[in-house]
A and B are shown apart, each in its own frame.
Chain A
């Protein structure tokens, strides 16, 4: 036991002495949270829009005023003629345009039917879609106002409630995502590197010749990163609660317990990488390409898994981050208890046990 403590203390010395790495380790979650929280958002605001108004009547003017009033759009200028609009699209000056046909108001009143053309730059389909949705809702809104004095015989008014995240804030999505990402990065990469480093410098040989148990070498290497990661989880949660106003709806204890499970998953992944590689560079490459990228792609954090073709959906099932992401979202945002996430927890535990088993099987106690 005393040997174990001495070893863990040595590992802490390695970590704490390497100031640059330490800065990255603790700075990374803070920077990521800040970037995702304030700089990056999937809301699209103040998009440049062009109104091509052939009608120039009361209805088109009112609708234009409504569009201008919304915070999503900023009217670039009103142009006549489709060539100018084309040019503006090509130059990338605008993302979307609205065309009112002649006699818009007249058609609306007389034929009960007005047509508006919306033209969007779909080279970025997500933005085009979002803008289209905004614009449609403004038009629907106007239509409702327009109709209100009159009696409409049949009408369905959908009342949408956005559960758990009524303001549709992006923050709700990315805090769990950042947690998965940071833990993945810190645990997998740092563990892998620190073990491979001992192989590279030759100290591993010395340790193996010593009576210190090889399995304890691994365990003591994992301890500092486990603690560091829990510090990171804490700092991410504090930031999200106090800076981003995202409360933790569920049990904090459960959240930490599940995080610890995920950290252990990552540590065993790191261990596996370190066993299979001989140099720090390769360990780092594998951790980045082999672990971080799938985490980004398949955790559901950036791209919805539901929309992927089934082989990719299937792959996503073996990505630990996917399950952790679901678990954190359930606890933090939906405020659910263990009974709601036992399945995900079981899968994550299963993956962890599998990884640990494979690592131990591969871990060569003897060098040859």
Chain B
């Protein structure tokens, strides 16, 4: 019952002479946790932006949640969630106000927003913090809240751009539990990370080098293929050949 929600074919983005993303071909299934790895400057962000409908590809095709990235970006936007590496809720609004705002701009009904925010606040144990400004929360909580807000409209796919940067290991673990819970509901998780232990949590990963997807498989297969015992070593093997860096 495999059902591809992200399907790209030779997706390319050029900025003048520079090829930021070069012929990326991916097929990611519903409910899959897909790790999108690569060194800084490898082209991850560019690729991800194209998949989100933020950036129009130069060539190639991509179908996201059943919609075309060239023509149906508005529909794509309704069906995806996005969380960036920067913490991106409003610090001067309270927890409840942030939830209400983001629910609102995704067009959820008031009733829906209300039930969602109650559910979310209890799930994250934020009951006593609901009326506090988000700026006063610790980073770990912010990131969890950020993630929950990114999936508030029940998207088919959620894109996470280095969601756990700067977060302590315990909170990272909790964060990944949230990701698993979400994936179990059938949401596809597309996550970029620099933590190799996190890469191990993914169902499949791809590693980008110089704008190309060089490896694409499950972590265990990749380790076998490169005959090494950890994802870090796989990453080193592949990324060593990189020509460009930041």
Which residue numbers of A lie inside 8 Å of B, CB to CB?
A: 2-3, 6-7, 10, 13-14, 17-18, 201-203, 205-212, 366-368
Min CB distance, A25 to chain B, in Å? 16
A368, B52: Cα distance in complex, Å: 12
Other contacts beyond A3-B104, A14-B92: 14, CB < 8 A: A2-B104, A6-B101, A10-B97, A14-B93, A205-B84, A206-B150, A209-B54, A209-B80, A209-B159, A210-B102, A366-B55, A366-B56, A368-B13, A368-B49
- Residue pair B107, A203 in contact (C-beta under 8 Å): no
- Residue pair B84, A202 in contact (C-beta under 8 Å): yes
A14, B80: Cα distance in complex, Å: 27
- Residue pair B55, A206 in contact (C-beta under 8 Å): no
- Residue pair B90, A14 in contact (C-beta under 8 Å): yes
A-B contacts, 30 listed (Cβ < 8 Å): A6-B100, A6-B101, A6-B105, A7-B105, A10-B97, A13-B92, A14-B90, A14-B92, A17-B93, A201-B91, A202-B88, A203-B89, A205-B54, A206-B83, A206-B102, A207-B105, A208-B54, A209-B53, A209-B77, A209-B159, A210-B102, A210-B105, A210-B106, A211-B74, A211-B78, A211-B107, A212-B105, A366-B56, A368-B13, A368-B54
B176 proximity list for chain A (CB < 8 A) = none
Q: B104: nearest residue on chain A (CB-CB)?
A: A6
Q: A6: nearest residue on chain B (CB-CB)?
A: B104
Within B42-96, the residues touching A (CB, 8 Å) are: 46, 49, 52-56, 74, 77-78, 80, 82-93
A209, B54: Cα distance in complex, Å: 7
Number of A-B contacts (CB under 8 A): 83
A17 proximity list for chain B (CB < 8 A) = 92-93
B86 proximity list for chain A (CB < 8 A) = 201-202, 205
B106 proximity list for chain A (CB < 8 A) = 210-212
- Which of A13, A201, A206, A368 neighbours the largest number of chain B CB atoms within 10 Å of its CB? A206
Min CB distance, A161 to chain B, in Å? 56
Nearest first, the 8 closest Cβ-Cβ pairs linking A and B are: A202-B86, A6-B104, A209-B82, A368-B55, A202-B88, A212-B105, A211-B77, A211-B78
Q: B86: nearest residue on chain A (CB-CB)?
A: A202
A17, B85: Cα distance in complex, Å: 26
B74 proximity list for chain A (CB < 8 A) = 211
| Residue of A18, A206, A207, A368 touching B46 (CB-CB under 8 A) | A368
Q: A203: nearest residue on chain B (CB-CB)?
A: B88
Q: B91: nearest residue on chain A (CB-CB)?
A: A201
B89 proximity list for chain A (CB < 8 A) = 203
- Residue pair B46, A10 in contact (C-beta under 8 Å): no
A209, B87: Cα distance in complex, Å: 15
